[in-house]
Structure 1
Amino acid sequence: MNKKISEIEKNPFSVSTPENLSAQEIVRLFVPYPEFETLQNSGHQFLDGHRGSGKSMMLRMMCPDCQAIVHNGIDNIPYFSIYISIKKTNINNPEYVRIENELGGIVISEHLLSLIFISELFLSLRSFASQINSQDNQKEKLINFINKDFNQILLMSGWEGEIKVNSSLSVQEIYNESISVLDRIYAKTMQYIKRRAFVKDDILYTGVLFGFQDTLLPFIKLLRNYNILPNEKIYFLIDDADNLTLQQTQILNTWVSYRSTDYISLKISTQLNYKTYTTVSGISIQSPHDFSKIQFTSILTGSKKVRYPELIKRIVEKRLDLYGLKGISAEEFFPADEKQEKCIREIGEKLKAEWSTGGRGYRANDDVYRYARPEYIRQLSGNSKQGHRYSYSGFEQLVHISSGIIRFFLEPAAYMFAEQIEKNGNNNLVSSIEPSLQDEVIRKEAKKLAFDSMDEIASDNHSLTDNEDHLVKVKKLQNLIWGLGEIFKAHIMDANASQRRLFSFTISGDSASLKPILKLGVEHGYFYTDVRGSRDGLGTEVKYVLTRRLAAAFNLDPIGFSGDKSLSANKLLELCVNPKSYTSKLRKIGIDALEENGQISFFEGNNLE
């Protein structure tokens, strides 16, 4: 029999959805993130981060099948987790809109969430029934629980039937009987919701009603009393909670507010678009009183504190090892353009020599870090017509370009690897990626992000819910990004600018009209946000960071950033509406064009460039 070749053995940087990977593949690929230890502690937690940052991988690693491999058996795992992918449910279908506007909508929504949690718990227990508590009386305990307590819970919740199991059934069959009852309850609930869409008048709901405190918690307590659950720590891993409806989100928040962590902990992942932090009664849940929060996307890709470069290095080298390249470092596999780096070092040495008489930093090395690479890019621009261009290559640059998102390193790396293996000949082992090929892929990805991805957002009519036309918003976002790119490029090209390597900006003035555009940009990974002390020393202000995945689109230096640009709300509104006239000024007179020159209305958007 031929051995099945895994995707990693074909391409070490292959990216697969964690839900589609086996437990063995998850454990082989997983590199512990700094936040992973915290996430495994008891307590309700929100895990916030952009798509591709590794949230699902962490949650998947907490599932029993993975933990059993790590801890040498299911009976040794430190907690029992139930993974729930909201994307894979249909609890946010359009039919829910009507019931959510009615008084009984809250009750129906809580019932459905409770039902899904209980069903997934039963499915998880069934999966590990042969491994959990392997004593001879396991079946007897399960039969007693089903016939007595589970029946009682169903009866008190409005179920008119009865479930009876006996010792002639296997443990798997007993679970199947119970899951079948829950499936029938779910089907009847869905029928009711769908039928509501066809009539104007109310229809009386007479089916089963589950709840958190009167069904789910008692259910958990009883399973623990019977020792059917393998451990006292029970975690529900709710992935992609942004996909819940507003009312379902409020219900989940209400569960968080109960602080019932003695029985269960909720681990809730979001893609920075969680709809609300209020409960059904309008009370806000707050950190650290009700939950703790882990922010999983960092703008500081070079920070030793964040350890993102070291994390990527370990991921890359582990994947290379699985591919068969043992002992090859990430830096060796993704080499930089040595000719380019030599020129940058020479510029750096010149800046060091001139620092004592004309340096701008506190130390000579400060000037080298801030100005050597931007100066090389500026000098190179004069040779662009001869075919020379800046090379986006080398492990360090690729790490910064990924902008703190692991997927944005792995996906381009997978493309690079596929092209390199084709270039080498399919039978030859790839031991490194040529700098020119790295640069080519990074430039393609930047172009795709700037154009194709915008088209995809434009086709998504559910990204924003306010009144203004969605296509107009997307166009304004695209204009804003291109305007910002030109501003940052102008600083690179100005040899006298004090800050030449920019990727971030703060806003002065009233930014209310900009917020829907910026929110759309954050949601889709074009901007990252951070909070910093305001320049006047009074309070704080939001800093927006442009993704460095776009560096190649504007010939920017992606390695870190040395400062923030303060831009007026009026200037940003001008970029949203009429970027070409503004960027032409930048090309003619440089960063002096940033001086204010009047105001423009945000709604003068009929003739967007």
Structure 2
Amino acid sequence: MSSDLTKNPFAVQSPEHIAAEDVISLFVEDFADFHQVLRTGHTFLHGARGSGKSMIFRYLEPDCQVIAKKCALHQLEFFSFYIPIKETDLRLTELLRLEKERHGSLALNEHLMVVSFAIKMLASLQRISVHASATAAKDLAAFVDGGLKKLLQRGGWSAEIPAIAAEASFDQVRQMATEVMEEVHAEISQFIQRLSLGRNYTYEGALLGFLDFLKPFTLALRSLPFMPKVPVFLLIDDADNLSEEQTRILNTWISSRGVAELSLKVSTQLRYKTYRTVSGQQIEMPHDFAEVEISNVYTSDRDRYGKRVHDIVLRRLQKANIAATPEEFFPPDKEQEREIEELAAKIVEAFPTEGRGHRARDDAYRYARPNFIRGLGGARKASSTYSYAGFSQLVHVSSGVVRYFLEPAALMWGEQSAANDSKPVLSIAPHIQNKIVRSEANRFLTSEFERITQDETRGPDHRDKAWKLRNLIDSLGSLFQSILVSDDAERRIFSVAFSNGPDDEVRAVFNLGAEYNYFHKSSIGKKEGGGRTDLYILSRRIAPVFNLDPSSFAGYKFITNDTARMMVLEPKRFTNSLRAGSSADLVDPPQGNLFGEA
């Protein structure tokens, strides 16, 4: 491996454009429920933007699997086709009118989806072109001129497939097949666009469906001599971008049988529109599909997430020939940590008479850092000087999303590289780490929030909802900061659950926050017992804005719907109430913690 200490090892690339060798060297598959993705059967993969869904799909593609498993193409245990929804034109403006007027929109939408998926599948075959021989090219050509032609004709397509030269390469044949499908696509695309002219057009082109085209098309590809005779996965990325009608069509496919041969792996950014089919029936777990929620990894399995980030960073450092552990490369502020250790020692010493927990070290872990932050905000009036540096803190701030670690790390590398004046970057100075973390936190609540405000103006109340979300975030930040510097027994609070409610208006604001990654959504047992209630965990990316301890994720508070409404609609009244009294006046006493810690 050649040394390259000038190239940024933390640069984030779009996974579909990363070479297979680089994917294998960078990908870490150690996360909860990864085995569910590899099993036959339909699977939903939910996660916030940047949580690694597309990277997982890239890893599952055949060129990566051949390297990862150290095997030949025909020895693979499954074969995947990658279908990115964002790179299709399935959201043509004219389609919305088509769906509204309902003249054949289901059939035309399914046809458009099927053709778009087939085009992406043929593009995905390029991943195995290096493994394809001249014989494979002839086999594919025979399929195009035979099986594909028959399937298209059965669907009503009347054009001819061009002759394929005998000496055509695998990629040339694949490209010709793609062009044929693009011609089919052009027919429906032009018809849909003509609808905008307001005339009464009649569609007379091909109509292809999942059962009569896409499924037999997929299985026919699998049966070709050069393909492994294994289950096929269709990796449908960013399915949130489908319209509601298209989502119902996809759900209808999921409700069909034959998952041992063909499985749909569907990724979403927590905005999947519906789980109902075109007939109105609801697909259900585990009968119709399995479900994996990557974003929950941080709330339910924090140590595993930390290990995963550690492994990812270590691989990137090794690829850049940097002989340092992640902890050495991202060192903490030594003076700050020394002072916190001194406070911890005092807590241990006073434990026999003033202890609150079961063990002295538990109290030290719980209270030393909050006491340090309280001291900065007290007589020293220097809360903003708390340093968000050190690998462990950076992991916590990333809030369970790998990209939220890598993107700031890339910025840190750039700033450190400039400061080093052409000298190799062997570690990131704590003050640079802190500067970037604080800058990114402020950006998350300013420029990124402005984008949300703009995105959410389409509906009658969406702008108002964005304003309510900002009120809620500011109120919760103030609440958690007041608890952190209080004398409460549990100060490590970053989560709230409802002792009653929430009503529809409050729930909509919390869910909007979860949709845009300002909250992680989970659940816990109800306060009074019997069933579960929603738990909302504030993103630790915001911790520096409110001078919070980013490791404060074990505890939670129950709030009433009235308190939540005050946060959302009357934030000034809420913060004034905090200043006038104590957090106990607005929330219930702590009910425990998320992980059963002492």
Retained in 1: the 8 A contact 2:297–2:305? no
**Aligned ranges for residues 17-28 of structure 1 at < 5 Å?**
17-28=14-25
Partner of 1:151: 149
2:234 to 233, 236, 242: 236
Describe the SS at the equivalent of 2:235: strand
* Cα distance in 2, alignment partners of residues 189 and 302 from structure 1: 46
Describe the SS at the equivalent of 1:285: coil
Q: Please, which runs of 5 or more residues in structure 2 have no aligned partner?
A: 589-598
> Which segment drifts farther, 370-379 or 142-151?
142-151
Could you tell me how far 1:541 is from its partner in structure 2? 0.6
Describe the SS at the equivalent of 1:459: helix
**Aligned ranges for residues 23-422 of structure 1 at < 5 Å?**
23-34=20-31, 35-70=33-68, 71-101=70-100, 102-125=102-125, 128-129=128-129, 131-132=131-132, 134=133, 137-163=135-161, 165=163, 168-171=166-169, 172-199=171-198, 201=200, 203-227=201-225, 229-298=227-296, 300=298, 303=301, 307-326=304-323, 328-385=324-381, 389-422=385-418
> Which segment drifts farther, 266-275 or 415-424?
415-424
Letter in 2 for 1:204: T
Retained in 2: the 8 A contact 1:143–1:165? no
* Cα distance in 1, alignment partners of residues 455 and 245 from structure 2: 22
- Please say if 1:564 is aligned against 2:541: no
Partner of 1:603: none
Q: Deviations over 1:582-604 (max 9, x none)?
A: 213323433255279xxxxxxxx
Could you tell me how far 1:224 is from its partner in structure 2? 3.6
* Cα distance in 2, alignment partners of residues 518 and 535 from structure 1: 19
* Cα distance in 2, alignment partners of residues 138 and 548 from structure 1: 51
* Cα distance in 2, alignment partners of residues 556 and 420 from structure 1: 25
**Aligned ranges for residues 540-555 of structure 1 at < 5 Å?**
540-555=532-547
Could you tell me how far 1:210 is from its partner in structure 2? 0.6
Describe the SS at the equivalent of 1:544: strand
Letter in 1 for 2:318: D
Retained in 2: the 8 A contact 1:301–1:560? no
TM-score, normalised via structure 1 length: 0.90
Partner of 2:595: none
Letter in 1 for 2:305: Y
Retained in 2: the 8 A contact 1:528–1:545? yes
C-alpha RMSD over aligned residues: 2.4
Describe the SS at the equivalent of 2:455: coil
1:451 to 446, 462, 465: 446
Describe the SS at the equivalent of 1:532: strand
- Please say if 1:479 is aligned against 2:471: yes
Q: Deviations over 1:511-565 (max 9, x none)?
A: 2221221111001100111111111112111110000111111111111423211
Q: 1:175 to 1:423 in 2, by over 3 A?
A: closer
Q: 1:228 to 1:303 in 2, by over 3 A?
A: closer
Partner of 2:583: 591
Percent identical pairs in the alignment equals: 38
* Cα distance in 2, alignment partners of residues 370 and 303 from structure 1: 19
Letter in 2 for 1:577: L
Count of matched residue positions in the alignment of Structure 1 and Structure 2: 583
Retained in 2: the 8 A contact 1:301–1:308? no
Describe the SS at the equivalent of 1:412: helix
Letter in 1 for 2:274: T
Could you tell me how far 1:273 is from its partner in structure 2? 0.5
Partner of 1:604: none
Q: Deviations over 1:63-109 (max 9, x none)?
A: 12222333354344332211111111110122111222314111111
Letter in 2 for 1:451: T
* Cα distance in 1, alignment partners of residues 507 and 256 from structure 2: 33
Letter in 1 for 2:509: I
Could you tell me how far 1:339 is from its partner in structure 2? 1.6
Q: Please, which runs of 5 or more residues in structure 1 have no aligned partner?
A: 597-609
Could you tell me how far 1:5 is from its partner in structure 2? 9.9
Could you tell me how far 1:147 is from its partner in structure 2? 2.9
Retained in 2: the 8 A contact 1:308–1:404? yes
Letter in 2 for 1:281: S
Partner of 2:500: 509
* Cα distance in 2, alignment partners of residues 481 and 72 from structure 1: 50
Q: 1:184 to 1:30 in 2, by over 3 A?
A: same
* Cα distance in 2, alignment partners of residues 125 and 491 from structure 1: 55
Q: 1:177 to 1:438 in 2, by over 3 A?
A: closer
1:434 to 429, 433, 438: 429
TM-score, normalised via structure 2 length: 0.92
1:499 to 484, 490, 507: 490
* Cα distance in 1, alignment partners of residues 190 and 12 from structure 2: 38
Q: 1:404 to 1:361 in 2, by over 3 A?
A: same
- Please say if 1:538 is aligned against 2:537: no
Could you tell me how far 1:117 is from its partner in structure 2? 2.1
